Amino acid sequence: MGGKLLLALMALLYAAGVALGLKAPEQLAEAVIEEARRLVESIFTENPLELALRIFLNNTRVTLLTALLSPLVVAPGLLVLVNGFVLGIALTYAAGRLGWAAALAAVLPHGVVEIPALLLAAAASTSLGAAIWRALLGRGKAQWRRELWSFAKAIALSLLLFAAAALIEATVTPALVSLARRLPPL
């Protein structure tokens, strides 16, 4: 499967996860929110640069997990689906407490950079996993090196995007959420 097709598949999985999260049963949503709250509390700090670093390190951890699971081929896609699911739940939760303007302000500024980074890392990991299996089965050993190089470039780009997203999330997003909370509800 080509890189663009895998990227499109990851985008569809993410969108499906968000849609499912928006409609998640309340009990499940509460459990997910509680777990997300623990993660946020473990990362949060008042210093924006330190916060950006912590966010970046968390996203790097997820990227490395995605890469390590690449031989399972479907695992990166499942991680994308779950990530979208959690976002859908978080959006619903935040919109119920802060309004949709603030909920979207909390996600969109950094999300437009962070989500493509996640999708790219997952697509590259899936492609690498498929190449590993082809090489193990004796088909495509020459392609293995090209795939590994493509994977390395995609992960490097993902990490750069995650760094930019973390800076936006730690500096721009809080100001936009504050402004959005002053708007009349949508």
Please state the three-class secondary structure of 63-111 as a single string: HHHHHHCHHHCCHHHHHHHHHHHHHHHHHHHHHHHHCHHHHHHHHHHHH
Instruction: Say whether pLDDT at 186 is over 70.
Output: no
Angle between helices 75-98 and 141-181 (to 10 degrees): 0
How many distinct structural domains can be found in the chain? 1
- Which percentage of the chain shows pLDDT scores above 90? 73
Q: In this structure, is residue 82 part of a structural domain?
A: yes
Which of 44-58, 103-117, 134-148, 160-174 bottoms out in mean pLDDT, i.e. has the lowest?
A: 134-148
* Position 157 in a domain: yes
The backbone region for 158, taken as left when phi is positive above 0, alpha when psi lies in -120 to 50, beta otherwise, is alpha
The answer to pTM > 0.85 is: yes
pLDDT average, residue stretch 9-38: 94
Instruction: Please name which of 130, 129, 108, 111 lies closest in space to residue 180, comparing C-alpha atoms.
Output: 108
Model confidence at 185, pLDDT cuts 50, 70, 90, reads low
Domain that holds residue 136: 3-181
129 within some domain: yes
Nearest by Cα to 16 from 119, 97, 102, 126: 119
Rounded percentage of the chain residues whose pLDDT exceeds 70: 98
Better-predicted residue by pLDDT, 144 or 29: 29
Question: What pLDDT is recorded for position 43?
Answer: 87
Distances (CA, A) of 30 to 1, 10, 35, 136, 167: 37, 26, 9, 43, 28
11 occurs within a structural domain: yes
User: Side chain identity at 180, as an amino acid letter?
Assistant: A
pLDDT band (50, 70, 90) for residue 1: low
Q: Which amino acid is at 174?
A: P
Tell me, yes or no, whether 186 lies in a domain.
no
